[in-house]
C-alpha cells in the first residue's frame, strides 16, 4: 500500500520540484495551449484540497485521455510548477501516471467531510423551524425535516462539485451559513418577511440531493443534475411537498420565486430562471453568494 506523506498533501505542497504521491482524478479536460498544442488538464484532489495536474505533449495527451478514469485514485510522479511565477499557486506537470487498486491506497487520505458537527447544524435549522410563525411555512418545513431519509440525505450531500463546500455534509453547512447570514440581514432590515426568508434559506438548495452522484472520494453530476440544474430540482421538490398544505397562492409564489432567482440576474448566466424581484429574493441571493464565495476563497487559499 502506498502511504501518503504529510508533506505530499495538497495544502502542504510548496516549491519542492519533485512529487510522488496519490491523488483522486476528480475531473479531466483536453485543453489547447497558446501555441495551439493540446494537453490534458486534470483536477486532482485529496482530503486537504485540489490542484491541477497537466500532461504533455500533445501526442501522449490525445492517446491517454480516453483511458483516464475520473473518481479514481492514481499514483502520480511529476514536477511542481508555480504558475504564474511568484503567485504561490502550483500545478503538477505529470511524468508518470498509474491507476491504483483499492488495496493500494488509504481511503482516509481522500475523504473530505464537513468539520462542523452535523448535530449542531441540524439544531440550528430545527430551532429556526420551531420559531417560524407562519403556519403554512412551518408545516412545509416540518414535512421535510420530519422525514429521516430526507435528513440523512440533506446532512450528507455536498454543496458543489468543485467550487465551495464540495465535501460530505457541505450542503447542510452551506444552508446553515446562508440562514445565519439571512438572520443578520433581518436585523438590519426588519421590514423583511423573516419567516419567508428563513424558509427559503433552508430550502433553496435542497435539489442538490438529486443533483450529485457522490461517494467517499469523489463528486460528479447526476443525469438529473446535468439536464435540469439544482434550482429547478429544488423548486419541484418544494412544489411537490406543498401538495396537501393548501398554501396561499401568493405565499407559495413568493417562495418559489426566491428559489428560482437565488443565483442572481439571469444575464449572469449562473442558472437563475428569473431575476430576483422581491426584497427577500435579493437578500437570499446575496446571502447565498457571500457564503459560497467566502468559503470557496478559504478552501482554495486564494490570496
230, 160 contact by CB (below 8 A): no
pLDDT on residue 207:
92
- Predicted confidence (pLDDT) per residue in 178-191, tens digit: 999 999 999 999 99
58, 37 contact by CB (below 8 A): yes
Chain mean pLDDT for the chain? 88
Query: Among 103-117, 153-167, 259-273, whose mean pLDDT is lowest?
Result: 153-167
Query: Among 79-93, 155-169, 242-256, whose mean pLDDT is lowest?
Result: 155-169
Residue 165's pLDDT band (cuts 50, 70, 90): confident
pLDDT above 70 for 148: yes
pLDDT on residue 216:
63
Cβ neighbours of residue 77 closer than 8 Å, sequence gap 6 or more: 18, 19, 20, 94, 95, 96, 97
Query: Identical fold at 6-109 and 118-300?
Result: no
Give percent of the chain with pLDDT exceeding 90: 50
169 phi-psi bin (left φ>0, alpha ψ -120 to 50, beta other): left
pLDDT on residue 270:
73
Q: Which whole number is the average pLDDT over 75-85? A: 86
Q: Which whole number is the average pLDDT over 36-57? A: 88
The span from the CA of 264 to the CA of 243, in Å, is 28
pLDDT on residue 206:
94
Comparing CA positions, the residue from 272, 277, 267, 301 lying closest to residue 288 is: 272
Sign of CA dihedral 161, 166, 169, 172: negative
Give percent of the chain with pLDDT exceeding 70: 95
The span from the CA of 57 to the CA of 64, in Å, is 11
- Single pTM value for the model: 0.74
Residue 165 grid coordinates: 463546500
pLDDT on residue 303:
39
- Predicted confidence (pLDDT) per residue in 5-19, tens digit: 888 888 888 766 789
The DSSP string of 123-185 is HHHHHHHHH---HHHHHHHHHHHT-HHHHHHHHH--S-SSSSS-SBTHHHHHHHHHHHHHHHH
Q: Which of 106-115, 121-130, 287-296 has the highest mean pLDDT?
A: 121-130
CA-based angle 209:268:173, to the nearest 5? Answer: 30
**In the chain, where the domains are located:** 6-109, 118-300
**Given 3.30.420.40, 1.20.140.70, 2.60.40.1190, 2.40.50.140, which CATH number is that of 6-109?**
2.40.50.140
**7 C-beta neighbours (distance < 10 Å), count:** 11
Residue 302's pLDDT band (cuts 50, 70, 90): very low
- What are 30's strand-pairing partners? 40
Q: Which whole number is the average pLDDT over 277-297? A: 94
- Predicted confidence (pLDDT) per residue in 227-262, tens digit: 778 889 999 999 999 988 989 999 999 999 999 999
Q: Does 1.10.3210 match the CATH number of domain 118-300?
A: yes
Residue 39 grid coordinates: 494537453
Residue 158's pLDDT band (cuts 50, 70, 90): confident
Q: Which whole number is the average pLDDT over 132-148? A: 97
The span from the CA of 202 to the CA of 129, in Å, is 9
206 phi-psi bin (left φ>0, alpha ψ -120 to 50, beta other): alpha
pLDDT above 70 for 225: no
Comparing CA positions, the residue from 251, 234, 248, 262 lying closest to residue 150 is: 234
pLDDT on residue 217:
66
Amino acid at each position: 500500500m502506498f502511504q501518503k506523506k504529510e508533506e505530499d498533501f495538497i495544502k502542504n505542497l510548496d516549491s519542492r520540484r519533485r512529487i510522488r504521491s496519490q491523488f483522486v482524478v476528480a475531473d479531466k479536460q483536453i485543453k489547447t495551449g497558446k501555441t495551439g498544442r493540446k494537453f490534458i488538464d486534470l483536477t486532482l484532489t485529496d482530503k486537504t484540497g485540489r490542484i491541477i495536474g497537466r500532461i504533455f505533449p500533445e501526442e501522449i495527451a490525445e492517446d491517454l485521455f480516453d483511458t483516464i478514469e475520473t473518481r479514481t485514485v492514481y499514483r502520480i510522479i511529476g514536477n511542481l510548477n508555480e504558475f504564474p511565477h511568484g503567485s504561490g499557486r502550483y500545478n503538477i506537470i505529470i511524468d508518470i501516471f498509474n491507476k491504483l487498486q483499492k488495496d493500494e491506497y488509504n481511503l482516509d487520505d481522500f475523504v473530505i467531510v464537513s468539520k462542523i458537527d452535523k448535530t449542531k447544524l441540524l439544531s440550528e435549522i430545527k430551532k429556526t423551524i420551531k420559531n417560524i410563525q407562519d403556519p403554512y411555512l412551518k408545516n412545509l418545513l416540518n414535512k421535510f425535516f420530519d422525514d429521516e431519509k430526507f435528513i440523512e440525505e440533506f446532512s450528507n450531500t455536498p454543496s458543489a462539485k468543485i467550487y465551495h463546500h464540495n465535501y460530505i455534509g457541505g450542503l447542510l453547512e452551506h444552508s446553515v451559513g446562508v440562514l445565519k447570514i439571512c438572520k443578520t440581514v433581518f436585523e438590519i432590515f426588519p421590514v423583511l418577511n423573516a419567516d419567508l426568508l428563513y424558509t427559503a434559506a433552508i430550502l433553496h438548495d435542497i435539489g442538490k440531493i438529486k443533483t450529485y452522484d457522490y461517494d467517499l472520494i469523489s463528486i460528479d453530476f447526476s443525469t438529473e443534475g446535468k439536464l435540469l440544474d439544482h434550482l429547478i430540482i429544488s423548486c419541484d421538490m418544494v412544489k411537490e411537498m406543498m401538495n396537501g398544505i393548501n398554501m396561499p397562492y401568493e405565499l407559495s409564489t413568493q417562495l418559489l420565486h426566491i428559489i428560482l432567482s437565488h443565483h442572481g440576474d439571469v444575464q449572469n448566466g449562473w442558472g437563475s430562471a428569473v431575476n430576483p424581484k422581491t426584497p427577500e429574493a435579493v437578500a437570499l441571493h446575496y446571502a447565498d453568494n457571500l457564503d459560497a464565495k467566502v468559503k470557496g476563497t478559504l478552501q482554495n487559499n486564494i490570496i
